[in-house]
Each structure stands twice: as structure tokens, then as C-alpha cells.
Chains A and B, each alone.
Chain A
Amino acid sequence: MELRPASYFVLASLLDGPLHGYAISSRAAELSGGEVRLTAGTLYGALDRMAARGLVEVEREETVEGRLRRYYRITGGGRDAVVEEADRLASAARVVQARRRRPRHARGLA
């Protein structure tokens, strides 16, 4: 199951434990080095889709300073999906890195 970058980082941000919407968004931005910036609407759209696919689930809701927060938790399926995607990305990265390390003339002969 291939994941989009946004879904990948959302799942990755949930690996350490349940988080609420804004915390997920901040953590995803941090993990991606600022590459993935999710607005509230986009984030909840993605979370809805992932919940429908069984990758995440709602853990609880609580009101903090008059604001309703919904906490999400990664499921076993979500954990498998993100690990699988990480392996896929790592193996794709290895292909390029291996070629980068070889001398230029060796690459030409190959």
C-alpha cells in the first residue's frame, strides 16, 4: 500500500503515541523538515480517509480552553503500512546512493 507523503508523515507522527489534530500537523512538519505543512481541513480529510482504511482511529475527544480536540491513534495496520512504506523508500534510496558512491568511469562501464 503506497502512501502519499502527507499520509506517511501523519502516520509517522503518531508512532510515538496518540496526538490531536494541531499536534499531528506540527509534528508532521517537524519530521518532514518543513516539507509537509498541513492545514486543518487537509489534515482532517487525510485522517478521515486513513480512518476509513483502518490505519488510524479516534482515541478520545477533550475540550481544552474551550477548544475541542480529537486525539488519533495509529492502528496495527497503520503501523505496518508506514513501516512498509519506510522500507520501500529506503530501498529506493539505496539504489541511487549505491550509484552515487561508485566512481564515474565504473558507472559508464556498467
Chain B
Amino acid sequence: MSGRSRRRVSEFLTGVASLTFPRARRADGRVVRDCAREAVDAAGLRALPRECLSLAIAGLGTRPREAALELRHAPWRAALSALPLPLAAATLVVWIFGFIPRYDHWPLGEGWAMLLGGSLLAVVGAALRHRWLTALGATATLAAAAAPYLGYGTDVAIAHTPSFFRGWSVDIGAASLLPALLLVAGALSLSPRPRPPVREVMGRLALGLMPAVVAIGPGTRPRHRAGSRERGVSAGLGGDSLGAGADALLGVQRRLPLLLAVVPLLLALVLMRRAGRA
């Protein structure tokens, strides 16, 4: 093999091996790669496998350290403090969607009052950037959602409900625990600073409540049958003499408001991100 070919092979293989270095350490990778190339130039091609292996191991070795460093230095607090409004809005909309098809009598039970009231309070608190108001709402929601799993359910325990969303097979009570906990953490990370101007609060409130307004729209109303309050929840969409196509259409119709609610939620996220940057 000619000298030029040897050099090409060496440069290609060391170049490939140096790709194991993470993007943030590319400059280090280049230094090590060039050092390996010098070693191969001096010792010949027999040193190439050893140098390539060593280069690849060094690159892979830096990855866990780099990942740990990134995790440690990530702006966790800033990220958490950006969460409360979108998360509270999402929590409220999810509970409204869970509530409307299930509940057909008044007054509200204490569980539902805490879930809906807590979520609403969290939205208002997040709009005001008020730490304790948001935390109170989030904690109430978390406590109400967790209560049935701790044996403190109301007459119709949330834990006994296979799904709030008919046919979706989602135990939203359990699924909401982590986001609710995150909401509490997000609320507590809100920095105490001067109350934002009324116009900003109103804007944030409108953004926070917009998905909920869509959620309580007419499309989500349940079609109650006598004595079907519990049965309807677990029965899913099939059960009538409709064909599979009609079932699917009905499913899409029922989910449409939920899907529509995602749009303002995403819009709220985008606007808040832009506002945060400004």
C-alpha cells in the first residue's frame, strides 16, 4: 500500500472512530483524533486498530460524563417555572373531559369539586404567577386524584373507573398523578416577583382557559341512558348494533373536541414560549 493510501485509510478510520465523541466535545475529539493520526504516521498501520479502538472507547467514555454534566447544569428551575400555566390548563381540560361524560347529577361530590376546582385554581394562580395559589390548586388536584388509591374514595371511587374516556381505556386518575406532582413542583419554582400587569394576566388567563372552554362545548355532552352512569364508562364505544365503521366514526366524533382542545393548548404553549423569550 502506498504512503498516500495508508494515510487515507488512517485518516478515514480515525475520523470514523472520532465520531463517538459527543457533539459538545467535538473539539476534544479532533485533538485526540489528530494525536492518533500522528501515532499511526510514526508507528505505521499496525498501530491503526489499537489507536482507533482507543479513540472510540475514549469518545464513548465521555458520553455518560457529558450527559451527566448536561443533566446537572440543565435549567431545571427555569423549565419548571415555565410549566404551570400549560400544565394547569391541560389538567383542567383533562378533568373536564373526564367529568362531563361521567357526571349527570348535582351537586358535585367533594372529589370532583377538588379536581375541577383545584385545576381551575391552578390555572388562575399560574396566570397570576402566584406561587402559593398555584401550589394550592395543584395540591388539591393531586390529593383528590390520589385519594381513591389511598382508600379515601368517594361513593364512586376513581380507582374503580376503568376509563374516564369511553373506549380509551385510560385510568386518568393514575395517569394524572405525575403531571399533578410536576404541577406542584412547577408552582413552587415560580419566583416571587411583582404581580404582572393586568393585561398580561388577562391574556394568560384567556390562554389557560381557552382549552377548557372548548372542552365544555356541546360536542362532549354524554348520551346518558337510564342507569348507565357506570356502565357507560366501561362499556367502550361498541355495544350498539352499529358496524365497525360507524363505531370508528362515532369514536372520532367523540374525540374531536378533545383533539380540538389540543390546538389552543399548543397555541398557548407557543405564545407563552415567545413571551418567555421576550
Give the B-binding residues of A (Cβ under 8 A): 20-22, 25-26, 39-45, 61, 67-70
Give the A-binding residues of B (Cβ under 8 A): 27-28, 30-39, 42, 50-51, 53-59, 61
Query: Which single member of B27, B30, B42, B54 contacts A41 (CB below 8 Å)?
Result: B54
Max count, chain A CB within 10 A of own CB: residue among B31, B50, B53: B31
The 10 closest A-B pairs by CB, nearest first: A41-B58, A41-B54, A39-B54, A21-B35, A40-B36, A67-B34, A22-B38, A40-B35, A70-B31, A44-B32
In the assembled complex, the Cα of A39 lies from the Cα of B54 at a distance in Å of: 6
- Counting residue pairs across A and B whose Cβ atoms lie within 8 Å, the total is 61
- Provide the residues of chain A in CB contact with B38, threshold 8 Å: 21-22, 67
Known: A25-B35, A25-B39, A67-B38. A40 touches B30 (CB 8 A): no
Does A68 lie within 8 Å of B54, measured CB to CB? Answer: no
- Provide the residues of chain B in CB contact with A39, threshold 8 Å: 36, 39, 50-51, 53-55
- Provide the residues of chain B in CB contact with A44, threshold 8 Å: 28, 31-32, 35, 58
Which residue of chain B lies nearest to A23 when distances are taken between CB atoms in the complex?
B38
- Provide the residues of chain B in CB contact with A67, threshold 8 Å: 34, 37-38
Chain B nearest Cβ from A108, distance in angstroms: 48
Does A43 lie within 8 Å of B61, measured CB to CB? Answer: no
Chain B nearest Cβ from A50, distance in angstroms: 15
Query: Which single member of B39, B50, B53, B58 contacts A22 (CB below 8 Å)?
Result: B39
Which residue of chain A lies nearest to B59 when distances are taken between CB atoms in the complex?
A41
Chain B nearest Cβ from A3, distance in angstroms: 20
Which residue of chain B lies nearest to A24 when distances are taken between CB atoms in the complex?
B35
20 contacts between A and B (CB under 8 A): A21-B34, A21-B38, A22-B35, A22-B39, A25-B35, A25-B39, A39-B36, A39-B50, A40-B32, A40-B58, A41-B54, A41-B57, A41-B59, A44-B31, A45-B58, A61-B31, A67-B34, A68-B27, A69-B35, A70-B31
